Structures are given as C-alpha cells and as structure tokens.
C-alpha cells in the first residue's frame, strides 16, 4: 500500500537503438549535460562495486537546483536505481529506476520510474514537483531518444577544445575574476551588459550581451556551477545560431612554482541547419567548426588574459 503523500509516476519512450547502447549512455553521467536539456553539470564519485554517488545541478521548471544521489548500476539487467541523498526543497524525498527493455536487436523501450514526496506533504509543493518531474522526464527521454538515434549523424558535429594561459599569481584571484561576472562590463571590452543572479551560493544564472568584431551584439544565457577556487562549469541555454550545444568549464590549477595554469574548455555541437544562413551557401561543416572555434577562443582567451593581468597585478601589490 503506498505511503500517504508518496507519488509514483512512470514515463517511457521507444528508442531505435540496441538496449545495451542505451544503457551505457544513461550510465555514463559525464555526458548528461550534452544529452539531457535540464542538466547543467554532474560530479561523479565511484563508491566501489556498482555503487556510485553523483551530484547533479539542473533546472526544474526553469529554476536552477542541485541535489546529491546514490545510484546502483546493474548492467546485466539493464537497470539503474537512484535515490536523492540530499533533496532540494520543496522535495522531501525522491528516487526511482531506469529500466531498459530490448524490443528487438535494434529497438528498445526505456522506462523511467519516479517516487517522491513534498516537504510537509504540502499539496502546492507536490503539484510543483509533479510538473517538474513530468517536464524533465519527457525532456530527458526525448533527448535520450534523439541522442541515441542520431549518434552517428552528430558524431562529426560535436567537438571540444581548450585554451590555456600561465599566470604568475594565485588561483583565488583568477577564480574571482571569472566568478565575478557582474563586473565583466568594466573589465572585458567584448562584454556590453551582464545580468547575474546567484540565489543559491555556487549556482549562477548568467545572461550576457557580447560584442562581435563587426560591432553587433549577441545575447547568451548560461547556468554556472562554481567550485572555489578550482573550477567553474557551465551550460549555455540561449545559443548563437551555429550551435545546438555549448558546455564547458574554467579550471585553475596551481603548479609547484607558485603560479597556475588557467584554462577554458568548450564542447560544441554545430547546428548545421544555420550554416548557409550564417556563413553563406558554399560554407562547409569544417568552415563552421573553424568559425565557432575562433569566435569562442577569441573571447575566452581575452578573458583569460585579462584575468592573468588582474591576478599578476594583485600578486605584485
């Protein structure tokens, strides 16, 4: 008999891919920001055997949230059970199971089960959770289906790169420069306007107007997760026309000589539908990759060099 206040729901989707391949994709949480739209960043800690602990930052009903879950992987049965360790209010408890069932050699059914309660069994909060679980589950399953079925088609469209500078200063000062994005219009010539909110410490919503070389201004929106003074991970949710995905992170690694290496990493998937519109009818995928990489590297390297100057000036002072 269900507990009072406990909600149990199920969502499912049919995927044109082998069940084992679908299972692997769900099991490898480092790919979640790329395949599940609500997910911003996932931190993964193996616990031995098939047990693991993951910390997830994601949006729920448009609001950034974070929680910690424990998972048990069963690659033989193709199931993954999960239970939130520290739920984010208004969630009091949350858990469930991924079940992948082979329908044929090339098709499978993915079932996503959830059970949850609201803090104080509040009916208004329970309705909010109902809506968030339904929206996120549908979004996750649709994205999973798209990602698996089009894996081969998009493999050549997804690429990563990194820019690095060495800084004779402290990781804290470089981290502060990147973290304090509300000051970027004063510190970075390519940034026109910044709107930064951080209702939960370490979880930021960043909207930014950036100037291009031709003088045009482009608005982008990102969610950022900060780890003082080591890393800032982000996922862009309002994207330029040539990108269907943009995730990345800033890292600040001190070395034995008293300085550090500051890096900006990007992972991008091209939106091929807009290549001709943006670059002309003769432009190729490789042209678009080069264009996007140059644009992103120019801005991130400029930011790194300004952060370097900022930190080195503080070190001298």
Average of per-residue pLDDT across 266-293: 96
Start-to-end C-alpha separation, the chain: 68
Q: Which two tokens stand for residue 37?
A: 């739209």
For residue 154, what pLDDT band results from cuts at 50, 70 and 90?
A: low
Q: How far apart are CA 246 and CA 197, in angstroms?
A: 20
Query: Helix 123-149 crosses helix 19-27 at what angle (to 10 degrees)?
Result: 120
Query: So what's the pLDDT on residue 63?
Result: 82
Which pair of structure tokens corresponds to residue 60?
Answer: 């729920």
Span 84-96, mean pLDDT? Answer: 92
Alpha-carbon distance of 312 to 294, in angstroms, equals 26
Under 8 Å between Cβ of 128 and 90: yes
CA–CA separation, 282 vs 275, rounded Å? 9
Q: Specify the long-range contacts of residues 197-204, CB closer than 8 Å, at least 24 apart.
A: 199/64, 200/64, 200/65, 200/66, 202/226, 202/227, 202/228, 203/57, 203/64, 203/65, 203/66, 204/64
CA-to-CA distance for 272 and 241, rounded, in angstroms? 9
User: What's the gap between Cα 50 and its chain centre?
Assistant: 24
Instruction: Report whether pLDDT(3) > 70.
Output: no
Smallest CA-to-CA distance from 225 within 250, 246, 208, 254 is with 250
Q: What is the DSSP letter of 16?
A: S
Q: How far is CA 2 from CA 81, 95, 99, 115, 253, in A?
A: 19, 14, 21, 10, 50
pLDDT above 90: residue 286: yes
181 vs 226: CA distance, rounded Å: 12
pLDDT above 50: residue 76: yes
Spatial separation of the C-alpha atoms in residues 17 and 107, rounded to whole Å: 5
Model pLDDT for residues 189-234, shown as the tens digit of each residue:
999 999 999 988 899 999 999 887 777 888 999 999 999 999 999 9
Which pTM does this prediction carry? 0.81
Provide mean pLDDT across the span 273-298: 96
pLDDT score of 151: 59
- How many CB atoms are closer than 10 A to CB 279? 16
- pLDDT of 22 > 80? The answer is yes
pLDDT score for 178? 98
Q: How confident is the model at residue 1 (pLDDT cuts 50, 70, 90)?
A: very low
Whether residue 61 is predicted with pLDDT greater than 80 in this model: the reply is no
pLDDT band at residue 143 using 50, 70 and 90 as cut-offs: confident
The residues that bridge with 236 in the sheet, in sequence order, are 222
pLDDT(46) > 50: yes
pLDDT at 70 over 90: yes
pLDDT at 152 over 70: no
- Record the tokens describing residue 166, joined without a space: 């060495």
260-270 sheet: strands from edge to edge: 158-167, 260-270, 243-254, 231-238, 217-227, 203-211, 191-200
Orientation of helix 285-316 relative to helix 171-179, angle to 10°: 120
* pLDDT given for residue 7 in this prediction: 95
Nearest to 257 by CA among 163, 164, 169: 169
Could you tell me the pLDDT band of residue 4, with boundaries at 50, 70 and 90? low
Q: Which of the listed ranges 37-41, 140-144, 203-207 does the model predict with the highest average pLDDT?
A: 203-207
Q: Is the pLDDT of residue 107 over 50?
A: yes
Q: Are strands 231-238 and 243-254 parallel, antiparallel or unpaired?
A: antiparallel
Q: What is the mean pLDDT of the chain?
A: 92
Residue 120 pLDDT class (50, 70, 90 cuts): very high
Instruction: Report which of 262, 256, 249, 303 is spatially closest to residue 167, judged by C-alpha positions.
Output: 262
């Amino acid at each position: 008999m269900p507990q009072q206040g406990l909600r149990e729901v199920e969502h499912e989707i049919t995927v044109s891919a082998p069940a084992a391949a679908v299972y692997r994709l769900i099991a490898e949480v480092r790919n979640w920001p790329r395949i599940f739209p609500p997910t911003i960043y996932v931190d993964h800690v193996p616990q031995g055997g098939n047990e693991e602990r993951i910390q997830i930052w994601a949006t729920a009903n448009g609001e950034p949230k974070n929680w910690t879950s424990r998972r048990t992987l069963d690659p033989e049965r193709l199931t993954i059970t999960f239970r939130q360790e520290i739920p984010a209010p208004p969630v009091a408890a949350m858990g469930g199971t991924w079940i992948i069932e082979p329908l044929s050699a090339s098709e499978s059914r993915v079932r996503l089960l959830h059970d949850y309660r609201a803090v104080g069994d509040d009916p208004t909060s329970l309705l909010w959770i109902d809506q968030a679980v339904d929206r996120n589950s549908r979004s996750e399953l649709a994205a999973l289906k798209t990602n698996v079925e089009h894996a081969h088609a998009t493999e050549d469209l997804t690429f990563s790169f990194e820019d690095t500078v060495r800084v004779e200063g402290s990781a804290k000062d470089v981290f502060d420069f990147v973290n304090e994005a509300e000051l970027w219009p004063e510190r970075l010539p390519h940034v026109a306007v910044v709107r930064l909110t951080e209702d939960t410490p370490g979880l930021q919503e960043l909207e930014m107007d950036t100037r291009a070389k031709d003088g045009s201004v482009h608005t982008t929106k990102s969610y950022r997760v900060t780890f003082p003074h080591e890393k800032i991970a982000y996922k862009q949710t309002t994207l330029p026309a040539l990108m269907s995905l943009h995730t990345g992170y800033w890292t600040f690694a001190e070395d034995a000589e008293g300085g550090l290496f500051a890096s900006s990493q990007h992972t991008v998937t091209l939106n091929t539908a807009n290549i001709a519109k943006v670059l002309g009818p003769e432009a190729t995928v490789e042209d678009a990759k080069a264009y996007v990489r140059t644009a992103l590297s120019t801005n991130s390297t400029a930011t790194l060099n300004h952060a370097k100057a900022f930190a080195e000036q503080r070190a001298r002072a």
